[in-house]
Amino acid sequence: MIGVLAAIGAPVLAGLAAIGRLARFAAAAVAALLRPPWYPGQLAQQMLIIGWLSLPVVGLTAIFTGSALAQQIFIGGSRFNAAATVPAVTVIGVVRELGPVLGGLMVAGRVASAMAAELGTMRVTEQIDALVTLRTDPFRWLVAPRLLAAVLVMPALVLVSNALGVMGGWLLATQRLGFNSAQYLATTARYLQIDDVVSSLVKAAVFGFFIALMGCYHGYHSGGGAAGVGRATTNAVVSSFILILLSNLIITVIVFGS
């Protein structure tokens, strides 16, 4: 009986301890954001890396997904004479869900892994220790700029992703499905509500926070040489994917559940 309890209790306790460590790390990172010194150069560099350099992958994902969504809605809608709903459903689907979620997942794959690898390498090559000996708080120099940059640029990236996703749907609908361009855009504008855009941007900021947090957390606590850095990178991507999907569900239920 005790053996069974121990078998259940040990992983539960380990899981709680991991959540506690992550919460402490997040609190320290947010606290580092609020206290000087700040490093605007580091922030600008991270905004460039996370935002500008992610644009191609996020943009392409949005265009292809928006187009595929329009095609699927057209095929599905045709089964019950609702093919005309393509512009309305595409814009709602893209702005509420696909734009932020797929954009978040693509950025997580690109950025969380890079952050974990960079910080992990800095950890195993003692660069983080060197920072400390040079009187620089690694949370302020490394973690806080990445966290703030991700929270700031993700909404902008998702705005672009939404626009390109809708454009992908419009392109396919007008070029292949026979929709009138002006009518398509007018219907899109009529069904797009401010709540959709706001929820999309809120999701983007939350996803940005989790992407940077997971990348930094796993990289910062990396150990065990190259294999350890590899594990940190994998863990950063997987955990940020899970947190993006979980937080997306929670925000969707809160904003649109009623």
| Chain positions contacting other proteins, by CB under 8 A | 121-122, 125-127, 129-136
Residue closer to other proteins, measured from CB, 9 or 224: 224
Residue closer to other proteins, measured from CB, 39 or 191: 39
Q: How far is the CB of 123 from other proteins (least distance, A)?
A: 11
Contacts of 32 (CB under 8 A, 6+ apart): 137, 139, 140, 143, 144
Q: How far is the CB of 36 from other proteins (least distance, A)?
A: 13
Residue closer to other proteins, measured from CB, 130 or 246: 130
Name the token pair of 173: 């609908």
Residue 85, classified by CB atoms within 10 Å of its CB into exposed (0-12), middle (13-18) or buried (19+), is middle
Contacts of 249 (CB under 8 A, 6+ apart): none
Q: Rounded CA gap, 109 and 150, in Å?
A: 13
Name the token pair of 52: 């500008």
Q: How far is the CB of 135 from other proteins (least distance, A)?
A: 5
Q: How far is the CB of 6 from other proteins (least distance, A)?
A: 20
Residue closer to other proteins, measured from CB, 78 or 125: 125
Q: Do residues 140 and 37 make contact, with C-beta atoms less than 8 angstroms apart?
A: yes
Q: How far is the CB of 18 from other proteins (least distance, A)?
A: 18
Q: Rounded CA gap, 70 and 73, in Å?
A: 5
Q: Rounded CA gap, 61 and 105, in Å?
A: 10
Q: Rounded CA gap, 122 and 46, in Å?
A: 16
Residue closer to other proteins, measured from CB, 38 or 64: 38
Q: How far is the CB of 39 from other proteins (least distance, A)?
A: 12
Residue closer to other proteins, measured from CB, 76 or 228: 228
